[in-house]
């Protein structure tokens, strides 16, 4: 190799190698510190863009999950009211049956009638209170409710099931005045009870469908998050091993540069007598 006092090729090469090692070492330390192998668009524009889009999709699903959970709660409230109403109808039927007994005295008959009308009025209270977030699937004031189903704004629609007196073919005047009326009321209450259970069955089916879709959305979001992680997350075990290797390489580079810098001293020694 040509020796020169103006340039030191060996030192220049050693310095270039050391700078390259330092750059790679800084990048590796950055990946370990952030946990990301792609932290910005300059690291890998295509991967970064893809990860951002998937991350946005995952974030959008939070709104979908919130909406579906409101739907869940709305149905649960309606189902709870429905359970109460079927219990009330069952008791009303029992009162009507008892009042159909012609051997009852007037006081007993009137007591049964009073119980019957009290139970009837409780149905109205149950439907009036069957609201979540100000809306109800049981009071007959709406035909359906729609909740977000996906990030594109699609809807999951639930049909209302009116459990008020009108929805059960009853009225605020439903009652009986005689044992004969009470006997006829038994069939009316049986029909009302059947109507209520059918409507609760429909709500239950809607609830199952909504629960299934909510579970799917949760799994979809988990998959998107995992996909983002696969795209941008660093393999910390691999990066740690690489860090140790680069640190060793850096030390060797410093030594190589030091040795190369001693070359001019060799030239000077040639001029010593």
- CATH code of residue 144: 1.20.1330.10
- Collapsing DSSP states into helix, strand and coil, what is residue 15? helix
* Whole-number Å distance between alpha carbons of 76 and 84: 12
pLDDT at 54: 86
**221 and 239 inside one domain:** no
pLDDT at 83: 97
Partners of 36 in beta bridges: 233
Contact 210, 75 (CB under 8 A): yes
**94 and 23 inside one domain:** no
Residue spans of alpha helices (H) in the chain: 9-34, 45-99, 106-128, 179-232, 236-261, 263-269
**176 and 247 inside one domain:** no
Percent of the chain with pLDDT over 70: 86
Q: How confident is the model at residue 259 (pLDDT cuts 50, 70, 90)?
A: confident
Q: How confident is the model at residue 205 (pLDDT cuts 50, 70, 90)?
A: very high
pLDDT at 16: 82
Mean pLDDT of the chain: 87
The yes-or-no verdict on residue 76 having pLDDT over 90 is yes
Task: Give the mean pLDDT of 232-241.
Answer: 72
131 domain-assigned: yes
51 domain-assigned: no
Task: Give the mean pLDDT of 9-30.
Answer: 74
107 domain-assigned: yes
Please tell me which of 85-94, 127-136, 251-260 the model is most confident about, judged by mean pLDDT: 85-94
pLDDT (tens digit, 9 = 90+) per residue, 20-38?
A: 877 776 776 766 766 677 7
The yes-or-no verdict on residue 235 having pLDDT over 70 is no
The tokens describing 102, both together, are 């012609």
49 domain-assigned: no
**223 and 248 inside one domain:** no
Q: How confident is the model at residue 245 (pLDDT cuts 50, 70, 90)?
A: confident
**151 and 193 inside one domain:** yes
**254 and 225 inside one domain:** no
**17 and 123 inside one domain:** no
Q: Regarding predicted confidence, which is higher, 190 or 253?
A: 190
1 domain-assigned: no
**146 and 203 inside one domain:** yes
Task: Give the mean pLDDT of 225-238.
Answer: 78
The residue whose two tokens read 């090692």 is: 21
**180 and 239 inside one domain:** no
Number of Cβ within a 10 Å radius of residue 93: 20
47 domain-assigned: no
**92 and 204 inside one domain:** yes
pTM summary value: 0.73
20 domain-assigned: yes
Task: Give the mean pLDDT of 51-78.
Answer: 93
**227 and 113 inside one domain:** yes
Domain that holds residue 30: 9-35+234-269
143 domain-assigned: yes
Q: How confident is the model at residue 132 (pLDDT cuts 50, 70, 90)?
A: very high
Q: Regarding predicted confidence, which is higher, 245 or 202?
A: 202
Tally of structural domains, the chain: 2
**120 and 190 inside one domain:** yes
Contacts of 261 (CB under 8 A, 6+ apart): 8, 11
């Amino acid at each position: 190799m040509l020796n020169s006092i103006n340039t030191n090729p060996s030192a220049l090469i050693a310095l270039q190698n050391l700078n390259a090692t330092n750059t790679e070492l800084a990048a590796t330390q950055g990946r370990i510190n952030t946990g990301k192998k792609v932290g910005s668009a300059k690291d890998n524009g295509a991967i970064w863009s893809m990860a951002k889009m998937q991350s946005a999709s995952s974030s959008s699903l939070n709104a979908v999950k919130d909406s579906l959970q409101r739907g869940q709660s709305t149905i649960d409230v309606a189902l709870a009211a429905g359970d109460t109403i079927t219990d009330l109808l069952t008791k009303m039927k029992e009162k009507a049956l008892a009042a159909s007994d012609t051997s009852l005295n007037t006081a007993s008959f009137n007591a049964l009638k009073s119980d019957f009308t009290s139970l009837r009025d409780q149905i109205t209270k149950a439907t009036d209170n069957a609201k979540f977030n100000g809306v109800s699937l049981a009071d007959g004031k709406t035909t359906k409710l729609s909740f977000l189903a996906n990030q594109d704004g699609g809807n999951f629609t639930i049909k209302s099931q009116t459990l008020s007196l009108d929805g059960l073919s009853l009225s605020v005047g439903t009652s009986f005045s005689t044992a004969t009326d009470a006997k006829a009321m038994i069939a009316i209450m049986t029909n009302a009870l059947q109507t209520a259970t059918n409507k609760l069955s429909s709500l239950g089916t809607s609830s199952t469908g909504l629960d299934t879709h909510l579970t799917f959305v949760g799994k979809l979001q988990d998959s998107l998050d995992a996909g983002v992680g696969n795209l941008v997350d660093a393999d910390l075990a691999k990066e740690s091993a690489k860090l140790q290797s680069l640190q060793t390489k850096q030390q060797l580079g410093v030594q190589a540069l030091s040795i190369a810098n001693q070359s001019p001293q060799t030239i000077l020694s040639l001029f010593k007598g």
